[in-house]
Protein backbone atom coordinates (compact mmCIF):
# COMPACT_ATOMS: atom_id res chain seq x y z
CA UNK A 1 0.00 0.00 0.00
CA UNK A 2 2.10 1.18 -0.63
CA UNK A 3 -0.30 0.87 3.80
CA UNK A 4 -0.86 19.05 -6.18
CA UNK A 5 -2.02 19.58 -4.67
CA UNK A 6 -3.78 19.65 -1.24
CA UNK A 7 -2.76 17.15 1.47
CA UNK A 8 -4.30 13.72 1.25
CA UNK A 9 -3.91 10.79 3.59
CA UNK A 10 -3.31 7.22 2.38
CA UNK A 11 -0.99 4.32 3.23
CA UNK A 12 0.16 1.73 0.73
CA UNK A 13 1.20 -1.79 1.45
CA UNK A 14 3.87 -1.13 0.07
CA UNK A 15 0.42 0.29 -1.61
CA UNK A 16 2.84 4.96 -4.93
CA UNK A 17 1.71 8.18 -5.31
CA UNK A 18 0.53 11.43 -7.29
CA UNK A 19 -2.01 7.34 -0.01
CA UNK A 20 0.85 8.20 2.34
CA UNK A 21 2.03 11.62 4.51
CA UNK A 22 2.76 15.67 4.17
CA UNK A 23 1.15 18.86 5.82
CA UNK A 24 -1.67 21.15 4.56
CA UNK A 25 -5.16 22.48 5.38
CA UNK A 26 -7.52 20.36 7.40
CA UNK A 27 -9.53 18.03 5.19
CA UNK A 28 -10.94 14.58 5.50
CA UNK A 29 -8.83 11.63 4.39
CA UNK A 30 -9.34 11.16 0.73
CA UNK A 31 -7.97 10.83 -2.78
CA UNK A 32 -7.62 12.41 -7.02
CA UNK A 33 -6.79 15.95 -9.81
CA UNK A 34 -7.71 19.57 -11.32
CA UNK A 35 -6.07 22.68 -12.79
CA UNK A 36 -4.93 23.61 -9.30
CA UNK A 37 -3.27 20.65 -7.66
CA UNK A 38 -5.67 19.73 -4.90
CA UNK A 39 -4.23 17.62 -2.14
CA UNK A 40 -6.58 16.06 0.33
CA UNK A 41 -5.46 13.72 3.08
CA UNK A 42 -5.85 10.20 1.81
CA UNK A 43 -4.83 6.85 3.02
CA UNK A 44 -3.75 3.62 1.50
CA UNK A 45 -5.21 1.49 4.22
CA UNK A 46 -8.80 2.05 5.23
CA UNK A 47 -12.00 2.34 3.28
CA UNK A 48 -12.51 4.79 0.43
CA UNK A 49 -12.81 8.41 1.57
CA UNK A 50 -14.54 11.08 -0.43
CA UNK A 51 -12.84 11.86 -3.71
CA UNK A 52 -12.01 15.38 -4.90
CA UNK A 53 -11.92 16.42 -8.54
CA UNK A 54 -9.04 14.73 -10.32
CA UNK A 55 -6.19 16.66 -11.84
CA UNK A 56 -6.41 16.20 -15.55
CA UNK A 57 -3.04 16.18 -17.26
CA UNK A 58 -2.30 17.01 -20.86
CA UNK A 59 -1.70 13.90 -22.99
CA UNK A 60 1.95 13.01 -23.24
CA UNK A 61 3.64 11.95 -26.45
CA UNK A 62 4.07 8.22 -26.80
CA UNK A 63 7.79 7.94 -26.50
CA UNK A 64 9.97 5.13 -25.31
CA UNK A 65 10.24 5.25 -21.49
CA UNK A 66 13.64 5.83 -19.94
CA UNK A 67 14.96 2.42 -18.84
CA UNK A 68 16.01 1.99 -15.23
CA UNK A 69 19.77 1.89 -14.64
CA UNK A 70 21.57 -1.40 -15.24
CA UNK A 71 23.80 -3.10 -12.69
CA UNK A 72 26.79 -1.02 -13.71
CA UNK A 73 25.04 2.30 -13.05
CA UNK A 74 24.96 2.28 -9.25
CA UNK A 75 26.78 0.87 -6.27
CA UNK A 76 23.69 -0.98 -5.02
CA UNK A 77 22.79 -2.81 -8.22
CA UNK A 78 22.66 -6.57 -7.98
CA UNK A 79 23.35 -9.34 -10.46
CA UNK A 80 19.76 -10.60 -10.17
CA UNK A 81 17.59 -10.55 -13.27
CA UNK A 82 13.83 -10.93 -12.71
CA UNK A 83 10.97 -10.41 -15.13
CA UNK A 84 13.43 -9.19 -17.74
CA UNK A 85 14.89 -6.51 -15.45
CA UNK A 86 17.98 -6.01 -13.36
CA UNK A 87 16.97 -5.95 -9.70
CA UNK A 88 18.42 -3.77 -6.94
CA UNK A 89 20.61 -5.40 -4.35
CA UNK A 90 18.98 -6.16 -1.00
CA UNK A 91 20.36 -4.27 1.98
CA UNK A 92 19.64 -4.38 5.72
CA UNK A 93 17.03 -1.77 6.57
CA UNK A 94 16.91 -0.78 10.25
CA UNK A 95 13.60 -0.59 12.06
CA UNK A 96 14.39 3.01 12.99
CA UNK A 97 16.62 5.71 11.54
CA UNK A 98 17.55 9.07 13.02
CA UNK A 99 14.01 10.38 12.83
CA UNK A 100 15.14 13.34 10.74
CA UNK A 101 14.96 13.87 6.99
CA UNK A 102 17.67 15.28 4.80
CA UNK A 103 16.53 16.98 1.59
CA UNK A 104 18.39 15.83 -1.50
CA UNK A 105 20.19 18.96 -2.76
CA UNK A 106 19.98 20.39 -6.26
CA UNK A 107 17.21 20.09 -8.78
CA UNK A 108 16.07 17.99 -11.73
CA UNK A 109 14.19 19.86 -14.41
CA UNK A 110 10.96 18.52 -15.92
CA UNK A 111 10.86 17.23 -19.48
CA UNK A 112 9.85 19.64 -22.22
CA UNK A 113 6.20 19.85 -23.10
CA UNK A 114 2.96 21.64 -22.36
CA UNK A 115 1.79 19.69 -19.32
CA UNK A 116 1.33 21.28 -15.91
CA UNK A 117 4.54 21.50 -13.86
CA UNK A 118 4.43 19.94 -10.39
CA UNK A 119 7.20 21.00 -7.99
CA UNK A 120 8.37 18.37 -5.54
CA UNK A 121 11.11 17.68 -3.00
CA UNK A 122 12.84 14.37 -2.28
CA UNK A 123 14.07 13.67 1.23
CA UNK A 124 15.64 10.62 2.86
CA UNK A 125 15.68 9.84 6.56
CA UNK A 126 19.20 9.93 7.96
CA UNK A 127 20.56 6.51 8.92
CA UNK A 128 19.05 4.54 6.04
CA UNK A 129 21.39 2.44 3.83
CA UNK A 130 20.33 4.09 0.56
CA UNK A 131 22.15 6.66 -1.53
CA UNK A 132 20.08 9.86 -1.49
CA UNK A 133 21.04 10.99 -4.97
CA UNK A 134 20.30 7.57 -6.45
CA UNK A 135 16.88 7.52 -4.77
CA UNK A 136 16.13 11.01 -6.13
CA UNK A 137 17.16 9.95 -9.66
CA UNK A 138 14.81 6.97 -9.54
CA UNK A 139 11.90 9.06 -8.25
CA UNK A 140 12.40 11.63 -11.01
CA UNK A 141 12.59 8.93 -13.70
CA UNK A 142 9.42 7.24 -12.44
CA UNK A 143 7.38 10.43 -12.13
CA UNK A 144 8.33 11.64 -15.62
CA UNK A 145 7.94 8.30 -17.39
CA UNK A 146 5.49 8.49 -20.36
CA UNK A 147 3.38 5.86 -18.57
CA UNK A 148 3.10 8.09 -15.49
CA UNK A 149 0.53 10.69 -14.44
CA UNK A 150 1.12 12.99 -17.38
CA UNK A 151 2.42 15.98 -15.44
CA UNK A 152 5.88 17.51 -15.73
CA UNK A 153 7.57 16.94 -12.39
CA UNK A 154 10.28 19.39 -11.36
CA UNK A 155 12.46 18.37 -8.40
CA UNK A 156 13.68 21.25 -6.25
CA UNK A 157 15.42 21.46 -2.89
CA UNK A 158 13.78 24.63 -1.54
CA UNK A 159 10.85 26.93 -1.91
CA UNK A 160 7.16 26.05 -2.10
CA UNK A 161 6.36 22.57 -3.36
CA UNK A 162 3.25 20.57 -4.17
CA UNK A 163 4.55 17.18 -3.02
CA UNK A 164 7.27 15.75 -0.80
CA UNK A 165 8.57 12.22 -1.46
CA UNK A 166 10.12 10.90 1.74
CA UNK A 167 12.04 7.62 2.09
CA UNK A 168 11.43 6.58 5.69
CA UNK A 169 12.31 3.79 8.09
CA UNK A 170 9.37 1.59 9.20
CA UNK A 171 9.21 3.42 12.56
CA UNK A 172 9.29 6.85 10.93
CA UNK A 173 6.63 5.71 8.45
CA UNK A 174 4.34 4.69 11.30
CA UNK A 175 4.72 8.11 12.94
CA UNK A 176 4.34 10.16 9.76
CA UNK A 177 1.28 8.22 8.62
CA UNK A 178 -0.76 8.62 11.82
CA UNK A 179 -3.67 8.33 12.31
CA UNK A 180 -3.33 5.68 9.62
CA UNK A 181 -1.97 2.35 10.85
CA UNK A 182 0.90 1.23 8.65
CA UNK A 183 2.24 -1.34 11.15
CA UNK A 184 5.79 -0.92 9.83
CA UNK A 185 4.71 -2.62 6.62
CA UNK A 186 2.91 -0.07 4.45
CA UNK A 187 3.58 3.30 2.85
CA UNK A 188 1.10 6.17 2.79
CA UNK A 189 0.14 9.63 1.62
CA UNK A 190 -0.39 12.01 4.50
CA UNK A 191 -0.21 15.77 4.90
CA UNK A 192 1.35 16.54 1.53
CA UNK A 193 3.97 13.82 1.84
CA UNK A 194 4.35 10.50 0.03
CA UNK A 195 5.87 8.46 2.87
CA UNK A 196 7.76 5.57 1.25
CA UNK A 197 8.50 2.72 3.64
CA UNK A 198 12.19 1.81 3.21
CA UNK A 199 11.46 -1.83 4.02
CA UNK A 200 9.09 -2.03 1.04
CA UNK A 201 11.49 -0.07 -1.14
CA UNK A 202 14.05 -2.75 -0.34
CA UNK A 203 11.90 -5.88 -0.52
CA UNK A 204 8.90 -5.12 -2.74
CA UNK A 205 5.60 -6.95 -2.23
CA UNK A 206 4.53 -10.60 -2.72
CA UNK A 207 2.36 -9.84 -5.75
CA UNK A 208 5.41 -8.63 -7.70
CA UNK A 209 7.19 -11.98 -7.26
CA UNK A 210 10.68 -10.64 -6.69
CA UNK A 211 10.43 -7.80 -9.22
CA UNK A 212 11.46 -5.06 -6.80
CA UNK A 213 12.33 -2.67 -9.65
CA UNK A 214 8.72 -2.68 -10.88
CA UNK A 215 7.33 -2.50 -7.35
CA UNK A 216 9.34 0.68 -6.74
CA UNK A 217 7.66 2.22 -9.78
CA UNK A 218 4.31 1.20 -8.38
CA UNK A 219 4.75 2.59 -4.85
CA UNK A 220 5.95 5.99 -6.10
CA UNK A 221 3.18 6.18 -8.70
CA UNK A 222 0.53 5.10 -6.20
CA UNK A 223 1.40 7.40 -3.32
CA UNK A 224 2.02 10.43 -5.53
CA UNK A 225 -1.29 9.57 -7.21
CA UNK A 226 -2.98 10.22 -3.88
CA UNK A 227 -1.24 13.59 -3.77
CA UNK A 228 -2.75 14.38 -7.16
CA UNK A 229 -6.20 13.61 -5.81
CA UNK A 230 -6.73 9.97 -6.81
CA UNK A 231 -8.37 7.48 -4.47
CA UNK A 232 -8.28 3.72 -4.16
CA UNK A 233 -10.00 1.54 -6.73
CA UNK A 234 -10.81 -2.15 -7.06
CA UNK A 235 -9.51 -4.88 -9.35
CA UNK A 236 -11.65 -4.71 -12.53
CA UNK A 237 -11.61 -8.49 -12.99
CA UNK A 238 -9.52 -11.59 -12.48
CA UNK A 239 -6.57 -11.73 -14.84
CA UNK A 240 -6.88 -8.09 -15.84
CA UNK A 241 -4.17 -5.49 -15.33
CA UNK A 242 -4.35 -3.92 -11.88
CA UNK A 243 -5.07 -0.18 -11.76
CA UNK A 244 -2.18 1.70 -10.14
CA UNK A 245 -4.53 2.97 -7.42
CA UNK A 246 -5.41 -0.57 -6.36
CA UNK A 247 -3.70 -1.33 -3.04
CA UNK A 248 -1.34 -3.79 -4.68
CA UNK A 249 0.97 -4.03 -1.66
CA UNK A 250 -1.83 -5.68 0.30
CA UNK A 251 -3.28 -7.85 -2.46
CA UNK A 252 -3.80 -7.95 -6.22
CA UNK A 253 -7.28 -9.46 -5.73
CA UNK A 254 -6.89 -11.59 -8.85
CA UNK A 255 -5.44 -8.83 -11.04
CA UNK A 256 -2.01 -8.79 -12.66
CA UNK A 257 0.59 -6.41 -11.16
CA UNK A 258 0.93 -3.04 -12.85
CA UNK A 259 3.06 -0.09 -11.64
CA UNK A 260 1.81 2.58 -14.05
CA UNK A 261 -1.17 4.95 -14.28
CA UNK A 262 -1.21 4.68 -18.10
CA UNK A 263 0.70 1.52 -19.07
CA UNK A 264 -0.59 1.70 -22.65
CA UNK A 265 1.63 4.71 -23.29
CA UNK A 266 4.74 2.55 -23.18
CA UNK A 267 5.83 -0.69 -24.84
CA UNK A 268 6.41 -2.71 -21.68
CA UNK A 269 3.82 -4.25 -19.36
CA UNK A 270 4.04 -6.76 -16.52
CA UNK A 271 2.48 -10.18 -16.82
Give tens-digit pLDDT for 137-174: 999 999 999 999 999 999 999 999 999 999 999 999 99
The model's pLDDT over 209-264, given as tens digits with 9 standing for 90+, comes to: 999 999 999 999 999 999 999 999 999 999 999 999 999 999 999 999 999 999 99
CA dist 171 → 102, 130, 164, 190 (Å): 17, 16, 18, 15
pLDDT, residue 266, reads 75
CA dist 85 → 69, 212, 215, 268 (Å): 10, 9, 12, 11
- What number of CA atoms fall less than 13 Å from residue 184's CA on the CB side? 6
β pairing state of 117-125 and 163-168: parallel
What are the domain boundaries of the chain? 10-48+88-265
| Residue 84 pLDDT level (bands cut at 50, 70, 90) | confident
Predicted model pTM: 0.72
The model's pLDDT over 90-128, given as tens digits with 9 standing for 90+, comes to: 999 999 999 999 999 999 999 999 889 999 999 999 999
pLDDT, residue 31, reads 35
The model's pLDDT over 245-257, given as tens digits with 9 standing for 90+, comes to: 999 999 999 999 9
Q: Do 121 and 164 meet the contact criterion of CB atoms below 8 Å apart?
A: yes
Amino acid sequence: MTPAVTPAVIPTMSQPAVTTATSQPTTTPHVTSAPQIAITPQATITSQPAVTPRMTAAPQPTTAPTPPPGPEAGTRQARLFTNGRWQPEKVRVPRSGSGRYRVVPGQARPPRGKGKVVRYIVEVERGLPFDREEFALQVHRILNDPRGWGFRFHRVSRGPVDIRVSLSSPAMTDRRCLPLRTLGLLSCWNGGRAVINAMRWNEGAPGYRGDVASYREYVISHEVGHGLGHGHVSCPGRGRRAPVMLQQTKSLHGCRPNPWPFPERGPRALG
